[in-house]
Structure 1
Amino acid sequence: MNYKFLPMFFVLLLMSFTNLPSNENSKKNSIVVEAKSVSKNVSIYNQLDANSFALPSFESFTLALDGFYILKEKGLIKKNILTLVDFSLSSNTKRMWVIDLEKNTVLFQTLVAHGRNTGEEFAKEFSNRAESYQSSIGFYATAEIYNGKHGMSLKLDGLERGLNDKARERAVVIHGADYVSESFIKQNKRLGRSQGCPAVPVELNAKIIEVIKDKSCLFIYHPSAKQEILAKLIS
């Protein structure tokens, strides 16, 4: 679908509600707000500078953007940096994007691992439990850097109760791993898996962490829970 024509559609949609009866005002206002939000997201998506990378799907991006604005308004994130991980995609593809929303530019697109009990090539099962060795979906705020067994690593605070709020106590962090590489895929026919961390290639680890550290937004997406993700964030 070509999203470049959607903004005009939503303009027409907004105009169509101007003559509704007064008892429909509440419904009208809700639809108008939603239409404005979608139209804004479409505009941002269409103006993204891919910077030689592929763009994420519109569905994952618009959900990430909705959450980003909610978190920014609540003061839970500070930077205009959005990191999007799309776990609907094969682990053999570059399914992590780091996006500068101030400059509307994709800074990185890279491989990223999911937990060993989340699935083989594709992520299927998610958990917030300790020792589950599964990934947790939803919105996070990036936190402080530390040096651990994987070297330079970045702590994460899960922002959604029941989905990922145990991330810090589970030590779910961003770190580099040698099993996150094209060579590992060639040898094993799939990317390596973590204990639940969104691990990235060793050669990009420090660069990514320096950009996204200290209260930027990380969103791990999977279509199976997209409604639950946003509902928990709003509640």
Structure 2
Amino acid sequence: MRKILFVLLPFYLIATSFVLPKIPTEKQSFRNDTLSIAKNSESIVNLNLSESQNIFTALDFMNDEKLDEAVFEKAYKGFEKLKKSGQLAAESELLTIADFSKSSNTKRLWVIDLANKKILFNALVAHGMGTGEEFAEHFSNTDSSHQSSLGFYVTETTYNGNNGYSLKLEGMDKGYNDAAFARAIVMHGADYVNENFAAAHKRIGRSWGCPAISRELAEPIINTIKGKNCLFIYYPDENYLNSSEWLKS
């Protein structure tokens, strides 16, 4: 008997060394199918997102003030229409947004690189003296009103003036900001746009209608956005939002 076992043992070891393929159970197959459907569904959802939604989703606001997606969508719509109409530089992929519905003590200006889906700058920006105190309330397209003007602008050339290094702006919304060039509404640096001023006065300082930024960031921001790029100054004014040609479908 021992001799027989000794003879058969090698054959048993060889036979048991082969591993049969594992056949998935019904439960495992169902789970795999479910995961596959979920992945496909996720891809379909991403394909269904608009270009503005894809860009906004990719933006990292971790160290910046959060921009409202609805504001970004409006700004992006105007940007696209301005570019298609030839108002912006052919290679323009920059969008600057100033959300004047927010407190002037918050960093309510964003410079966004649309091509690379990155926030280049997030900064304080002042509104006009006639527009309000901490919060913007009144807007005008009239000279000497000292009020800010809503709408889309195209950035032009730079110059050195009474407020230092400045950027000329061309207002693109008729009746809302198209007098900006004549009113000398420009982007410039100002000593009153900083957190220390806000802490002392409960608000940052105000301009004569210009979107003024800090002295420290004036040159880098202006040099980034100059030369036929888009600036959008937003406020939830229904008359403006319903009448701007750049926001119409």
With structure 1 as the length reference, what TM-score do the two structures score?
0.82
User: 1:64: which partner in 2?
Assistant: 75
Q: Is residue 54 from structure 1 mapped to residue 65 from structure 2 by the alignment?
A: yes
Q: Is residue 42 from structure 1 mapped to residue 56 from structure 2 by the alignment?
A: no
Work out the CA distance in 2 between the residues paired with 1:102 and 1:131.
38
Q: Aligned to 1:223, which of 236, 243, 249?
A: 236
* 1:53 maps to amino acid: D
Work out the CA distance in 1 between the residues paired with 2:182 and 2:162.
16
Gaps of 5+ in 2: 1-41
Percentage of pairs with the same residue: 49
Q: Which has the larger radius of gyration?
A: 2
Gaps of 5+ in 1: 12-35
User: 1:80: which partner in 2?
Assistant: 93
With structure 2 as the length reference, what TM-score do the two structures score?
0.77
**Residues 1:9 and 1:214: Cα distance change in structure 2 (over 3 Å):** closer
Work out the CA distance in 2 between the residues paired with 1:232 and 1:60.
14
**Residues 1:229 and 1:57: Cα distance change in structure 2 (over 3 Å):** farther
Work out the CA distance in 2 between the residues paired with 1:132 and 1:232.
25
When the two chains are superposed, the root-mean-square deviation of aligned CA atoms in Å is 2.0
SS of the equivalent of 1:179 reads: coil
Asked whether the equivalents of residues 77 and 247 of structure 2 are also in contact (C-alpha less than 8 Å), the reply is no
Work out the CA distance in 1 between the residues paired with 2:132 and 2:63.
30
User: 1:168: which partner in 2?
Assistant: 181
SS of the equivalent of 2:237 reads: helix
Write out per-residue CA displacement over residues 170-205 of structure 1, whole angstroms, 9 at most, x where no aligned residue.
Answer: 000000000001111111011100000000000000
User: 2:210: which partner in 1?
Assistant: 197
Query: Number of residues paired by the alignment?
Result: 204
Q: Aligned to 1:8, which of 33, 45, 51?
A: 45
CA apart distance, 1:233: 5.7
**Residues 1:49 and 1:234: Cα distance change in structure 2 (over 3 Å):** same
CA apart distance, 1:54: 3.1
User: 2:190: which partner in 1?
Assistant: 177
Q: Is residue 91 from structure 1 mapped to residue 104 from structure 2 by the alignment?
A: yes
Structure 2 counterparts to residues 94-113 of structure 1, below 5 A: 94-113=107-126
User: 1:154: which partner in 2?
Assistant: 167
